Structure 1
Amino acid sequence: MIEAKELTKRYGAVTAVDGLSFTVRPGVVTGFLGPNGAGKSTTLRLILGLNGPTGGAVTVGGHRFAGRPRGLRRAGALLDAHDVHGGRTARAHLTALAVSNGLPRRRAGEVLEEVGLAAAAHRRIGRFSLGMKQRLGIAGALLGDPPVLLFDEPLNGLDPDGVLWVRGLFRRLADEGRTVFVSSHLMREMEQTAEELVVIGRGRLIAAESLTDFASRGTRRSVVVRTPDGTALVSALTAAGAEIARERDGRYTVTGLEPRRIAELARACGALLDELTPVSASLEEAFMELTARSVEYGAGETR
């Protein structure tokens, strides 16, 4: 378990993390979301003791992680796939990590096999693609078979097969009772992977709840409509303030009106409805709406 209480980090006049309190529970995959500059990477470094907090505290398994011996037995992390010595082979890199953490050398080969890099064990890391470096970073996180795992943007550079593999890996690790904390900007992937969310903006907590509950907080929900009387219905819905997009299959996606109101307007204008289907709440839409005021640099914005 990871527990943060009023966690704060300042760099001079800049507050990167501002009084964060949240809990990451074992047994579920928890997504860590926020706009660029929100403080996600700083928070992960604070959890692992790579930076010291200005205020508050964070514990891993009930203890401060900084200074604990043989740390890979307690928590594994992938923070930067490029943060490796390019002149070393994959096996040499992992063997060095194993020895420094009191782990058997054989673990290097075992985790290389697990992440699909056994055939590249003796290749120099500098020749690896980004996707291969991501797999190597995940191997390093798994090396000590730890109960807590943290991943910062682990899907960058992975092909579709790699994404499916990582999704299954995170689910398996959580099913084993481990704490799995994943930072990502890929909303659609988080919808497929995470069950819980911690969402921050400008260093402050926006939400710590289930993915379903967070997605349902978005107010701009959509309704799919199919009708043979498109012209009349579109006119009535547009006049009522709805936003309408025509799909390739001839149906309409209506945003800004509830299904009941759409049905009332259809009846009033004499339009027949063949379909009226509310669309499930979108994580991406809720995220964009609820973090809009926390974006550090918006498109087209000048400072």
Structure 2
Amino acid sequence: MRPAIEVAMLRRSFGGRAVLDGVTFHVPWGSVTGFVGVNGAGKTTTLHCLLGLERGEGSARIDGAAYSALREPLRTVGFCPDALGAAAGASARAHLLPIALRAAVAPDAIDQMLGAVGLAGARGQVRSFSLGMRRRLAIAGALLASPRILVLDEPFDGLDPAGRRWLSALLRAHADGGGAVLLSAHALDEIEPLLDRLVCLHDGRTRFEGDADAFLRRHAAPVVIVRSPEPERLGAALREAGAVVHGRPAGALAARGLDPERVARIAVREGVLVTELSPRRLSLSAAFAAAIGEGG
């Protein structure tokens, strides 16, 4: 089966500077794929090229076709932009009406969608809405025509904790129902539990594409917190075994590079009492920082 989204050797330059330099990745059906990178990495430009909002060299396909060639683009892919772009003076319903008309969706669906995203009682002009309300309206626009593919640029920005839980559940259900989600976000640790796959962009290039857990295994080496009455002796033994060891308060050590069982065996071999042995893992944001710092 062809992927929901396929980007190959995508290039884009501004003023002679390469913003995208051969970006390549795909988004399978049935998955939530995180699209991450620091500011200026090229994420939004990639999404704009994918959706025909900017022109680039290379290939960017949605369900096997360029966006301009899709027979029913709004029913195929829903886009939640980083900036809502509502017309001055528009209400929430007025903002969604052109989307409904272009997608041949019955106007009654607008009110149903506003209720679904928590804006049933929203009154007044969009410019008076809070950031969270504007986010919900942008998400409503992406969902209105019931597309199988969702492309979302920073959709969690401005949402309160309840809104974030709501959106996470919605995106997970969409993927589990056979759809596909491409999700750009700054709050990496918040979206980590949601992700099946990860695409990491840095300096306009794809630094990683694949299983999110594989990325964490590769870049988030496990840390073992171990506490002992003899931290100096235990630390020396762990370093000799190849661990990177840092001191913590109250006789604790943070050992990176050895699993808990190996740490325990070293302690037994050395005859050192251990009063705590706690495996921990780096967060997704820390793993990403490590990955781009390695330059690979």
TM over 0.5: yes
Q: Cα deviation per residue 1:231-273 (whole Å; 9 max; x = unaligned)?
A: 653576579873435379x854333555466446645764212
Partner residue of 1:9?
12
Partner residue of 2:153?
152
- 2:196 is aligned with what amino acid? E
The 8 Å contact of residues 225 and 252 in structure 1, kept in 2 or not, is answered as: yes
Q: Cα deviation per residue 1:88-109 (whole Å; 9 max; x = unaligned)?
A: 1101111222123322111211
Matched residue of 2:138: which SS? helix
5+ residue gaps in structure 1? 295-303
Instruction: Find the partner of 2:50 among 47, 51, 73.
Output: 47
Task: For 1:202-221, list aligned pairs within 5 A.
Answer: 202-218=203-219, 220-221=221-222
The 8 Å contact of residues 247 and 253 in structure 1, kept in 2 or not, is answered as: no
Matched residue of 1:10: which SS? strand
Partner residue of 1:19?
22
Distance in structure 1 (CA, Å) of the matches to 2:58 and 2:281:
38
The 8 Å contact of residues 225 and 251 in structure 1, kept in 2 or not, is answered as: yes
The 8 Å contact of residues 7 and 57 in structure 1, kept in 2 or not, is answered as: yes
Shift of 1:277: 4.0
Matched residue of 2:219: which SS? coil
Identical counterparts, % of pairs: 37
The 8 Å contact of residues 34 and 291 in structure 1, kept in 2 or not, is answered as: no
Task: Tell me the TM-score normalised to structure 2 length.
Answer: 0.88
Q: Cα deviation per residue 1:40-73 (whole Å; 9 max; x = unaligned)?
A: 00000011000111x2111111111026465311
Task: Tell me the TM-score normalised to structure 1 length.
Answer: 0.86
Shift of 1:116: 0.7
Deviates more, 1:260-269 or 1:24-33: 260-269
Please provide the CA RMSD for this pair.
Answer: 2.6
Distance in structure 1 (CA, Å) of the matches to 2:207 and 2:137:
33
Change (3 A) 1:61 1:15: same
Deviates more, 1:12-21 or 1:228-237: 228-237
Distance in structure 2 (CA, Å) of the matches to 1:275 and 1:11:
55
Distance in structure 1 (CA, Å) of the matches to 2:179 and 2:191:
18
Task: For 1:196-275, list aligned pairs within 5 A.
Answer: 196-218=197-219, 220-230=221-231, 232-234=233-235, 242-244=244-246, 246=248, 252-257=253-258, 259=260, 262-263=263-264, 266-267=267-268, 270-275=271-276
- Are residues 1:184 and 2:196 paired? no
Distance in structure 2 (CA, Å) of the matches to 1:165 and 1:45:
26
Matched residue of 1:291: which SS? helix
Partner residue of 1:299?
none
Distance in structure 2 (CA, Å) of the matches to 1:264 and 1:223:
13
- 1:76 is aligned with what amino acid? G
The 8 Å contact of residues 247 and 254 in structure 2, kept in 1 or not, is answered as: yes
Give structure 1 regions of 4+ aligned residues with deviation exceeding 6 angstroms.
Answer: 238-241
Deviates more, 1:43-52 or 1:76-85: 76-85
Matched residue of 1:276: which SS? strand
5+ residue gaps in structure 2? none
Instruction: Find the partner of 1:100 among 99, 102, 107.
Output: 102
